Structure 1
Amino acid sequence: MKVLVSGAGMAGLSAGIALGQSGFSVTLVERAKHLRVNGSPIDIRGDAVRMAQELGVLEAIRARRVTMSEEVVFVDREGKTIAAIPQQEINDSEEDVEIPREDLGDVLYRAQPEGNTVRFGDWIEALHDDGAGVDVTFKSGLRERYDLVVGADGVHSATRRLIFGPEKDYLKHLGFYIALADLPEEASAGRVNPMFNFPGHMVGIARYRDRALGVFNFRSPWIDYDYHDLAAQKAILAKAFAGHDEWKVPEIVAAALRDPGLYFDSVSQIHMPTWHRGRVVLVGDAAACATGLSGRGTSLAITGTCILAEALRRHGGDFEAAFAEYEQRQRPHVDRAQAMALPGGDLICPATWEAIEARNARLSAPRSA
């Protein structure tokens, strides 16, 4: 069976491994000209740990693990530590793994089965599913026919838009925005990762290995802007943190405004009644983004793609049965992850001074053995 995977992020690369190992002929197409790996370290948790083992990548993942989240502390306006997140609020179990996004991308890319093709700098422009196969037209002008198309192209999925309609029909804004920027001057300043809050806002430094990132989170209703417009993103970020000179806020904001690779986006989930139509199926954030506030987006990518591949093996050419099994088994993972996002927002970005103080008091309270 000939399969096209749209997107070579964590979901797409995981799909490539799972489907390739299942005997399918897999092509991955990625709009960027290289692996997109910007962002903070990510977590592999729960069932995704077992499934990473089944994919044959868990040992390589564990060899590159970091402990960035375990070193997060909340600081006051002078930079003094006032609270820390207990380990049990970060991980489900000791088996969970935190790994830099770029390292996980490299592990998954290197693990692509022989015969898989990864094509960068191209993307889907049109899809036509005639019931017997899917004709795909690419931006490059290439035209190919596939038995199955897997949309793994993220929260702003073009595959979803082409088959299911506009993003706005499925996007649920959670009331937050996030930004990440390179902060090289802080890379060698120790391992502690300080985060500072004022009402509805968080700004901090995330260090791991030889890198440091400026991390931003702020509460806001939906902002209408072009998510491809970097200047607009920087203007929104600057306005959100204007007038604050506490701690290192001005320096971190200034670094973000200089960064040509700034990551900025709404914290929004994708909610869909079904993840498939005909011979096209969605996985990862394209199907059911839970947001980084859940801490489970990468785990959903791995569990979803493994479940999909297993269902396709079980049901052969009966795509409807395979997709029904995939959705039935993956929905509980998605529901749990999406439900955890808002509590995650309240933890890192409380809305008021009272909520900030209550959070700090709770985290600082002695814990019984």
Structure 2
Amino acid sequence: MDAKGKVLATLGPDLIGLRSPGDDEVLRGDLARILFDATKSGVEYVFGDSLTDLVQHTDGVEVHFRNAAPRMFDLVIGADGMHSTVRRQVVGPEERFARHTGMAAAVISVPNYLDLDRWELLHPTPGRIVQMYSTTQAAAKAQFVFPAPEQLPDRRDVSAQQRLIADAFADGGWETANLLRLMPESPDFYFDSVSQIHLGTWSAGRVALVGDAAWCPSPLSGQGTSMALVGAYVLAGELLAAAGDQRAFDRYQEKMQHFIDENLALGWKNATQMVAGGKGALRMQIFMLRMVSRLPWKGMALRSIIDPIEKAANAIHLEDY
């Protein structure tokens, strides 16, 4: 879409789906709800608290919490995201392991006032993208991607984050003004730098990391949830095979390393190439989007995009534990 709402190019699911037969896509919130409902009867969940310190002993890990009393655990698994507190406690500060693309991204929920039904609309400008999409007619998501400094507002200062976004898109066209106006009302505002985490090891003693805490591929990679699920499966399987012994952590990294390396490389490429940097690059991008559906060799062009995704997604053999 251009600044006035004119359609510049239209692509169907055959061109932008980038799926192989048997692939399924699930919204992150739905997946979290499914996993929670499947485990809540046999797992103790504690909400509204956070970890403040870890003390490793020969027979366990002493975990200190902000609110609750300290407790001992046989093993600790840090699955607490790109800004992992567990990682900071056991291997060091985030600054040592983060690689920044120079971009930031925000996602909000908004009313589906454009009545989108499985449609995604994008308004690109040099260095920035605003998009709105919906998988149902009941609600919609909006995303903002834009250049941002490495030092962002405090992660808990939502007002400062939203001011940064509003400033970055103050002159935006299309639906930008409406989406910015709706942003403070979003019930699930998300904002972060577009960055990756690269670690040499994902464990220390009786503590291990999984998901974005160990290998964040960036929020724009499209790979994060799949990588986390695969990692959780392999880690659980190796712990089962080792009867819960921490030696399973080495086997877990050995089996996962190639898969993670492939996906981190793909994630970096996706994140850094998603946004056209200048007017010339943007014009070429729009021209190619207009032309691709008419080209006789569009299948070949699509394979060049899909093949690296399939290679990364299948860069591991999953054992039946």
Give the Å deviation of 1:346.
4.8
Distance across 2 between alignment mates of 1:125 and 1:362: 51
Secondary structure of the residue aligned to 1:118 is coil
Residue equivalent to 2:274: 348
1:275 is aligned to 202
* Whole-angstrom CA distance in 2 between matches of 1:221 and 1:274: 28
Q: Which residue of 1 aligns with 2:132?
A: 205
What's 1:229 paired with?
157
Mapped to 2, the partners of 1:218 and 1:318 lie a distance apart of 45
Asked if the contact 1:122/1:139 (under 8 Å) is kept, the reply is: yes
Count, aligned residues? 293
Distance 2:270 2:201 in 1: 26
Instruction: Give distance in 1, aligned partners of 2:55 and 2:175.
Output: 52
1:150 positional shift: 0.3
Instruction: Return the alpha-carbon distance in structure 2 between the equivalents of residues 250 and 285 of structure 1.
Output: 32
Question: Deviation at 1:108?
Answer: 0.7
Cα RMSD after superposing both structures: 2.1
Give yes or no for the alignment of 1:94 onto 2:21.
yes
Shift of 1:360: 2.5
How is 1:85-124 mapped onto 2 (pairs within 5 angstroms)?
87=14, 90-112=17-39, 114-124=41-51
Q: Match for 1:76: what amino acid?
A: D
Gaps of 5+ in 2: 300-321
Task: Identify the match of residue 147 of structure 2 among 184, 207, 219.
Answer: 219
Residue in structure 1 matched with residue 262 of structure 2 by the alignment: 336
Tell me, in whole angstroms, the C-alpha distance in 2 between the residues paired with 1:317 and 1:103: 30
Task: Quote the residue 1:143 is aligned against.
Answer: 70
Do the aligned residues in 1 keep the contact of 2:198 with 2:215 (CA within 8 Å)? yes
Same amino acid, percent of matched pairs: 33
Q: Which residue is equivalent to 2:166?
A: 238
Is 1:308 aligned to 2:235, yes or no? yes
* C-alpha distance in 1 between matches for 2:286 and 2:272: 12
> Quick one: structure 1 residues 131 and 87, their matched pair in 2 at CA, closer, same or farther if it must change by over 3 Å?
farther
Give the TM-score, by structure 2 length.
0.84
Whether 1:297 aligns to 2:217 is no
Equivalence map 1:1-369=2 (5 Å): 75-79=1-5, 80-84=7-11, 87=14, 90-112=17-39, 114-186=41-113, 188-209=115-136, 210-244=138-172, 246-259=173-186, 261-320=188-247, 322-363=248-289, 364-365=291-292, 366-368=295-297
Distance 2:239 2:18 in 1: 31
Q: CA deviation at 1:78?
A: 2.9
Whole-Å separation in 2 of the counterparts to 1:281 and 1:295: 24
- SS of the residue aligned with 2:276? coil
Report the AA paired with residue 176 of structure 1: M
Using the TM superposition, give the Cα deviation of residue 317 of structure 1 relative to its aligned residue in structure 2, in angstroms.
4.8
Aligned equivalents of 2:271, 2:208: Cα separation in 1: 30
> What does residue 305 of structure 2 align with?
none
Contact 2:109 2:187 in 1 (8 A): no
Q: Secondary structure at the match of 2:181?
A: helix
**Residue 86 of structure 1: how far off its partner (Å):** 6.0
Distance 2:118 2:41 in 1: 39
Q: Distance in 1 between matches of 2:296 and 2:103?
A: 31
Structure 1 pair 217–258 and aligned structure 2 pair: CA distance change class (3 A): same
Stretches of structure 1 lacking an aligned partner (at least 5 in a row): 1-74
Matched AA of 1:231 = S
Deviation (angstroms), 1:239: 1.2
TM superposition score normalised by structure 1 = 0.74
Cα shift at 1:84: 2.8
Matched-pair contact (CA < 8 Å) for 2:218–2:271? no
